Amino acid sequence: MSAVSRIGLVGLGSMGMGMAKSLIRAGFDTLGFDLNPDACAALSEAGAVAAGPSALPYAAELDALVLVVVNGAQVESVLFGEHGVAKALRPGSLVVICSTMAASQTKAVHQRLSELNLELIDAPISGGAIKAADGKLSVMASGKPELFERAKGLFDAIAERLYVIGPDIGQGSTVKTIHQLLAGVHIAAAAEAMAMAAKADIPLDLMFDVVTHSAGNSWMFENRVPHILDGDYTPRSSVDIFVKDLGLVLDTAHQMKFPLPLASAAHQMFLAASNEGFGREDDAAVVKIFKGIELPEGK
């Protein structure tokens, strides 16, 4: 199988846009697809071969289709929905799913793609918009070894670290699910700590400085607490994303009959934030569920 050279990417949000531009910089013929016309225009300006609302008109000319959509339901819609692209892809084409999904759902998608003689790499991503823009994501992937040879240039363009978990579809999704357990718990813990500092009348910028130079720090604390300090809850990743992802974590654990007390508590915090109307705000807005405190307001 020859290496991929013409790549379509569906989902030009904060992560997908950076990935698509990284592919363009690496010399790939890159096509981008999103329902947001402004995102499509921005990618065209960056040098995309084509950009538009649907991959369907271009499917037959793609070597690989990369999905960077929000969830499993969107993955299934893009591939198998009313205007699904799967049946229009050339036999032997490669599908790379970067969305966070349950391993069971990824396996089900794999079965349907196999029936169409299409290949799949299960490749969830992490790193945020900045690393996506720099081509320095972490990828937790699984699939046939020969597919990674075929897609080596693709992963070199978008990722600083490619972790090949194993050959079985679903292994990448499982590792990403466990990762999201930590990410969600760390954000919830960071919010709880800063809310307690606010209640104790400790200056929040001082608290942030102490923690980020001490043993209690985490990547999420360092990344998300500045949103609280700035009073800026513009969504980089939303509260509702973690309602979904921690729900996925818990569903996976339930299937394993495995207890997750911390993930359960964090999930309840994000549910509470969503219930109070903060679902579309940045996930740091989970701090707003704590009452009786004053938080910084945006400028």
- Residues assigned a catalytic role: 176
Element spanning 89, H or E: none
Kindly state the tokens that stand for 230.
């700035």
| Long-range Cβ contacts of 51-54 (<8 Å, 24+ apart) | 51/12, 54/83, 54/85
Distance separating alpha carbons of residues 110 and 87, to the nearest angstrom: 14
DSSP-assigned beta bridge partners for residue 121: 96
Helix (H, G, I), strand (E, B) or coil at 30: strand
Helix (H, G, I), strand (E, B) or coil at 260: coil
Element spanning 142, H or E: strand 137-142
For helices 261-273 and 239-256, the axis angle rounded to 10 degrees is: 150
Distance separating alpha carbons of residues 60 and 63, to the nearest angstrom: 8
Distance separating alpha carbons of residues 22 and 12, to the nearest angstrom: 12
Kindly state the tokens that stand for 191.
């919010």
Element spanning 148, H or E: helix 145-150
Distance separating alpha carbons of residues 181 and 135, to the nearest angstrom: 24
Kindly state the tokens that stand for 61.
């000319």
Distance separating alpha carbons of residues 99 and 70, to the nearest angstrom: 6
Among 167, 119, 147, 158, which Cα is nearest to 3's?
147
Contacts of 262 (CB under 8 A, 6+ apart): 185
Distance separating alpha carbons of residues 139 and 136, to the nearest angstrom: 9
